[in-house]
Amino acid sequence: MIKAVLFDLDNTLIDFMKMKRLSCEEAISAMIDAGLPLDKEEAIKKLFALYQKHGIEHQKIFQLFLKETMGKIDWRILASGVVAYRRIKASFLEPYPHTLKTLIELKKKGIKLAILSDAPKLEAYTRLAATKLMPFFDVILTLDDTKAFKPAKQAFLLALKRLGTKPEETLMVGDWHERDIVGAKKVGMKTAYAIYGTIKEVKSTADYDLASIKDILKVVR
């Protein structure tokens, strides 16, 4: 019997990559208007290559981008990009369809809900606040809490300790198979692969595959 559901955050509850793509596209357009000497397609490709190298949460990615493409930081261009990025980020950060209804139904069933994210604490809490999802969760764990990226066992064991549930009573839901599913399986948790949010499709070894977040309700019945 499932007594707790542990969620990854980005691309599981929140459509993070949609927000990231739209925000970056708007930022690049603003930087080009301010004098960036690149065409949009080339600039976006270079920016996401830097994200891949330094991490999708890197806080000074535009500074790195300008140093690599222009050899220096042009503050007018930087400021234009940051303002455009923040404006779109605030507008397009949203949960996946059916997320709110699913969380409400899980709470009605008396199931404990938790977040286990590799995002920094402030970023994770900001997204939860912006999408009004925070009140649903009994436990919220970020990289600042676990001190280790998934699939490290210590991240999942800390979640189990905070929830007060056994591994076999806990369902881990995530979009990153190598981190969320593999890591949860190592400690004996039930697993559900969020296919609807995955960026890179892989062969699933999860106990359940979810085409929509609402499919969790079928799993916990």
Which 3 state secondary structure label does DSSP give 127? helix
pLDDT, residue 195, reads 95
Residue 192, burial from CB neighbour count under 10 angstroms (0-12, 13-18, 19+)? buried
pLDDT, residue 202, reads 84
- CATH no. for residue 67? 1.10.150.520
Same domain for 113 and 174 = yes
Residue 194: band (very low, low, confident or very high) from pLDDT cuts 50, 70, 90: very high
Same domain for 64 and 48 = yes
Tell which residue, 158, 152, 166, 112, has the closest CA to residue 136: 112
Task: State how far the Cα of 140 lies from the Cα of 155, in Å rounded to an integer.
Answer: 12
Tell which residue, 179, 172, 176, has the closest CA to residue 208: 172
Same domain for 62 and 110 = no
At residue 122, φ and ψ (nearest 5 deg) are: -65, -40
Q: Could you say which of 72, 92, 112 is where a domain stops?
A: 92
Residue 160: band (very low, low, confident or very high) from pLDDT cuts 50, 70, 90: very high
pLDDT, residue 199, reads 74
Task: State how far the Cα of 177 lies from the Cα of 193, in Å rounded to an integer.
Answer: 7
Same domain for 127 and 76 = no
Both tokens of 118, joined, read 């590799």
Same domain for 181 and 107 = yes
Same domain for 179 and 112 = yes
Q: Which residues lie closer than 8 Å to 79 by C-beta, 6 or more apart?
A: none
Which residues constitute the domain of residue 166?
4-15+95-219
Same domain for 157 and 50 = no
How many domains is the chain built from?
2
Residue 167, burial from CB neighbour count under 10 angstroms (0-12, 13-18, 19+)? middle
Same domain for 87 and 117 = no
Give the helix/strand (H/E) hosting 114: strand 112-116
Residue 221: band (very low, low, confident or very high) from pLDDT cuts 50, 70, 90: confident
Q: Could you say which of 73, 92, 111 is where a domain stops?
A: 92
Task: State how far the Cα of 131 lies from the Cα of 166, in Å rounded to an integer.
Answer: 30
Task: State how far the Cα of 77 lies from the Cα of 70, in Å rounded to an integer.
Answer: 11
pLDDT digits (tens, 9 = 90+) for 27-76: 999 999 999 999 999 999 999 999 989 988 888 999 999 999 999 999 99
Same domain for 52 and 114 = no
Tell which residue, 159, 179, 182, has the closest CA to residue 170: 159
Task: State how far the Cα of 111 lies from the Cα of 105, in Å rounded to an integer.
Answer: 9
Q: Is the pLDDT of residue 14 over 80?
A: yes
pLDDT, residue 201, reads 74
Instruction: Scan for tokens 């062969």, then name that residue.
Output: 203
pLDDT digits (tens, 9 = 90+) for 107-142: 999 999 999 999 999 999 999 999 999 999 999 999
- CATH no. for residue 170? 3.40.50.1000
pLDDT, residue 92, reads 85
Same domain for 153 and 73 = no
Mean pLDDT of the chain: 95
pLDDT, residue 73, reads 97
Query: Which residue type, as a one-letter code, is found at position 108?
Result: K
Residue 90: band (very low, low, confident or very high) from pLDDT cuts 50, 70, 90: confident
Task: State how far the Cα of 150 lies from the Cα of 59, in Å rounded to an integer.
Answer: 21
Q: Could you say which of 69, 92, 115 is where a domain stops?
A: 92
Measured CA to CA in angstroms, residue 152 lies from 157, 181, 183, 206, 219 at distances of: 9, 11, 6, 17, 25
Same domain for 34 and 143 = no
At residue 77, φ and ψ (nearest 5 deg) are: -65, -45
Same domain for 201 and 102 = yes
pLDDT, residue 55, reads 83
